[in-house]
Amino acid sequence: MTFKVEGKTPSKGSGPITSTAVDWEPPACWYEPYWKAKNFKTYTEANWSMYESVGGDPEGIADDKARYTGGHPYKDFNVDKNDQGMWWVAVTNPKMKDDPAAGDCKRKPFWVDNGENPDVPRPSTPRPSPVSLTSGPSYPRPRSPWPRTASRR
């Protein structure tokens, strides 16, 4: 693939896109934004309902209910902040699901306001990650940083 960016700054033409980390692999796990508040509430309450309907012990989900609905630390899944942030979750690299490091991301889903740093440790990677964790779902689906309006040959 080649690209050419047009604009006020003179360009030296176009050229191939190459990576400086061609042997980089995503880590065994990471955190990424996944749910809007209303969707997370719907999903989680459905799971709680299924758990209870098959005879699950209410004590088994009491801590989660307190965490996400009771104000310890979240109230009603942060539904009142639905468009102001997202619930972040741990994601396991499907190619490394049996790797012991896949269990390193143990944090329960947590809320991050838009524009805020998620304040989670970056997972170990063989090389520094070329993509920021705060840019959204980043590891297995990296996106080109160039605008879609750039002409390509």
Q: Encode pLDDT of 21-50 as tens digits.
A: 667 788 999 999 999 999 999 999 999 999
Tell me if 19 is assigned to some domain: no
Whether the Cβ atoms of residue 118 and residue 31 lie closer than 8 Å to each other: yes
Phi, psi of 151 (to 5 degrees): -75, 140
Q: Which amino acid is at 56?
A: G
Please, where are the H alpha helices in the chain?
37-53, 59-68
pLDDT at position 24: 74
Q: What is the mean pLDDT of the chain?
A: 79
- Residue 12 confidence class, pLDDT cut points 50, 70, 90: low
Give percent of the chain with pLDDT exceeding 90: 57
Nearest Cα to 145, choosing from 129, 130, 133?
130
- Find the DSSP H helices in 1-144: 37-53, 59-68
* pLDDT value of position 21: 62
> Domain count of the chain?
1
Q: 96 versus 148: which is more confidently predicted?
A: 96
Contacts of 68 (CB under 8 A, 6+ apart): 41, 44, 74, 77
The per-type count for the chain, helices as H runs and strands as E runs, is 2, 6
Q: Is residue 4 part of a domain?
A: no
25: amino acid identity, one letter: E
Does a structural domain hold residue 2? no
Q: Domain for residue 129, yes or no?
A: yes
125 touches 19 (CB < 8 A)? no
Q: Is the pLDDT of residue 118 over 70?
A: yes
pLDDT on residue 150: 43
| 9 within a domain of the structure (yes/no) | no
What pLDDT is recorded for position 123?
59
**Residue range(s) defining the domain that contains residue 35:** 25-143
Cα dist from 104 to 94, 107, 119, 142, whole Å: 14, 9, 16, 22
Q: Is residue 126 part of a domain?
A: yes
